[in-house]
Structure 1
Amino acid sequence: MMHLNINQIKEIIPHRHPFLLIDYIEDYQPGTFAIGYKCVTYREEFFAGHFPKEPVMPGVLTVEALAQVGAVAILSVEENKGKTAYFGGINKCKFKGKIVPGDKVRLETRIIRQKGPVGIGEAVASVDGKTVVAAELTFMIG
């Protein structure tokens, strides 16, 4: 297993607080997959407005966290170091559950196709073994 702490993640992807949505990478293989985690706390800035009486992590931020994990896999390939992975599309996205304060979200993105600077990843976010978001993410390396 290849682990990455927050400082090592910041060496690979350009995201920074408050938009860096992964806390650590448990395992990854450059160009193939990455598995990361987001430890959700009540102090997350988005909970102030989403929703004050029932805090729920916005689904679009969960998709973004999955994309960031995928970016770790893609941008850790030697020829992609120093580049940025941009969203090209989101397909087959399903929201199957809520993410709330106290959840430890497992984020896994597997790169299933790549041709030149464009690729597709299968992404799944889960909490306690239950899928909360699944999507197919298209990326472009710039």
Structure 2
Amino acid sequence: MSQAVIDIHRILKLLPHRYPFLLVDRVIELDPGKTIKALKNVTMNEPFFQGHFPDFPVMPGVLIIEALAQTAALLTFSEEHDPEDVYYFAGIDGARFKRIVLPGDQLIMHATFERGKAGIYKFQVKATVQDELAAEASITCAVRKKSA
């Protein structure tokens, strides 16, 4: 596996997401077309912590899954792609949440490419905190043109 780091500046070029919805801070490992490992530093100033939950802030599971989908998109877009392409979340299977994610945690996200055909891609994804499984799922994503 090659060690390739994609910093926030490149992530901003590859993904359309912006604050507060960009949920990947850095790619720390990449084997193009096969696997990716990225991180999200979870901080207390995340806007979702104001309401989830004020007395015991927990990162919402749906946002963990979204962070994993963004990681999978970076794996898809790590090689050349048309800037008119947009990555859409198309499906999720077998999602399991095993550990809560708290402010101060570093969420490590892994995505492994399974298959792709006609702009539809399938990945196995998992998120860990301190090598402890936080969430896992099988996700399907679709790449379409912005104008479509």
TM-score of the superposed pair, with normalisation by structure 1: 0.96
Q: What is the identity, as a one-letter code, of the residue corresponding to 1:67?
A: A
Instruction: Measure, in 2, the Cα distance between the counterparts of 1:31 and 1:140.
Output: 15
Corresponding residue of 1:72: 74
By how many angstroms is 1:76 displaced?
2.1
Instruction: Measure, in 2, the Cα distance between the counterparts of 1:33 and 1:69.
Output: 10
What's the secondary structure of 1:57's corresponding residue?
Answer: coil
Is there any run of 5+ residues in structure 1 with no aligned partner, and where?
none
1:56-93 deviations in whole A, cap 9, x for unaligned? Answer: 00000000000000000102222x34211111100010
What's the secondary structure of 1:133's corresponding residue?
Answer: strand
Instruction: Measure, in 2, the Cα distance between the counterparts of 1:81 and 1:132.
Output: 33
What's the secondary structure of 2:43's corresponding residue?
Answer: coil
Q: Residue 61 of structure 2 is aligned with which of 47, 59, 62?
A: 59
Q: What is the identity, as a one-letter code, of the residue corresponding to 1:100?
A: L
Q: What is the identity, as a one-letter code, of the residue corresponding to 2:105?
A: D
Q: What is the identity, as a one-letter code, of the residue corresponding to 1:21?
A: L
Aligned residues: 141
Corresponding residue of 1:90: 92
Corresponding residue of 1:37: 39
Identity of aligned residues (%): 37
Instruction: Measure, in 2, the Cα distance between the counterparts of 1:94 and 1:52.
Output: 24
What's the secondary structure of 1:93's corresponding residue?
Answer: strand
Q: How does 1:1-142 map to 2 (within 5 A)?
A: 1-78=3-80, 80-82=81-83, 83-142=85-144
CA contact (8 A) 1:12 1:81 kept: no
TM-score of the superposed pair, with normalisation by structure 2: 0.92
Is there any run of 5+ residues in structure 2 with no aligned partner, and where?
none
Q: What is the identity, as a one-letter code, of the residue corresponding to 1:63?
A: I
